[in-house]
Amino acid sequence: MKLCGALLFALVAVQAAVLLSAVPSAQASELQVGYYSKKCKGLENVVKWHVVKALKAHRRTGAALVRLLFHDCFVREIKADLEHRCPGVVSCSDILIYAARDAASFLSNGHVHFDVPAGRLDGFVSKAEEAQAELPDSTDDVEKLIANFARKNFTVEELVILSGAHSIGQGHCSSFTGRLSEPADQITPAYRELLKYKCSSGSNPPVVNNVRDEDYNTVGRFMPGFVSRLRKVPDFLDNSYYHNNLAKIVTFHSDWTLLTQKEALGHVHEYADNGTLWDEDFSDSLVKLSKLPMPAGSKGEIRKKCSVINHRLY
């Protein structure tokens, strides 16, 4: 099963997302912070208002926002508001970046934050299969993950940094079936039994990525010594992923496999020891992701509706 972006945030979502393919109106180096300051005053406040409203109602939605996997109705709501205020000015691609930034900030209590360079156009082509094809798989080994990131000019360190987004969100059992039979040197047996129990509760049910967000009774049954570390507020974006990984209590094989490569392992230790450093480096990595260029010659527009192009192409 593909890791739709908690791992990558949007290695492809900015350029070939399910909803749209973003096309920078200029080279990545020419995207501007404050691009809409005169074109659409108050834009960032509008986006933030919608994001905070959604997260206060359904906090778990935040993980999807950080991955840029928006429900179409959510995008439409923001777009409709901005079209009323500034018709034909703000691209859906930029809305996605602003909203993902605001979700990350909300879920981290403001520790993850960055200024958004904007000025993208929306693509004329939206092909989910192309985006999906470029995403890593939850069963990938570290060598494949490193190669995948390297194709987009991301380092081993940045792979480890972005993997930290798995401190929030959830995954379906089909995405970690192999973990249910992996040996004790790869997954803590008590956690493996917890996952088996959760997956037996239905047909491919979702399971939280971070055991610290599990329900009290389940953790008390399988991992009683961990109960004191459960979080009162779920889906808090922080460096707990790295502590969990070192303890071999992470859900995906692609998470555990980072411990098998010397440089990656060093960075896992680094961010487990320094949460503030991870907040800063995660913010920087998201900015870099937001600047991924489209292929040369790409063309775009400002979509009136994010789900469809403005005019049929012949």
Q: Please tell me whether 281 is known to bind a ligand.
A: no
Q: Please tell me whether 61 is known to bind a ligand.
A: no
Q: Please tell me whether 215 is known to bind a ligand.
A: yes
93's tokens: 């691609």
Q: Please tell me whether 136 is known to bind a ligand.
A: yes
Catalytic residue among 58, 71, 113, 243: 71
Q: Please tell me whether 218 is known to bind a ligand.
A: yes
Q: Please tell me whether 115 is known to bind a ligand.
A: no
Helix axes 156-163, 262-273, angle to 10 degrees: 50
Annotated catalytic residue 71: yes
Q: Please tell me whether 188 is known to bind a ligand.
A: no
Active site residues: 71
Binding site as annotated, residues for Ca(2+): 72, 75, 215, 218, 238
Binding site as annotated, residues for substrate: 136
Binding site as annotated, residues: 72, 75, 136, 166, 215, 218, 238
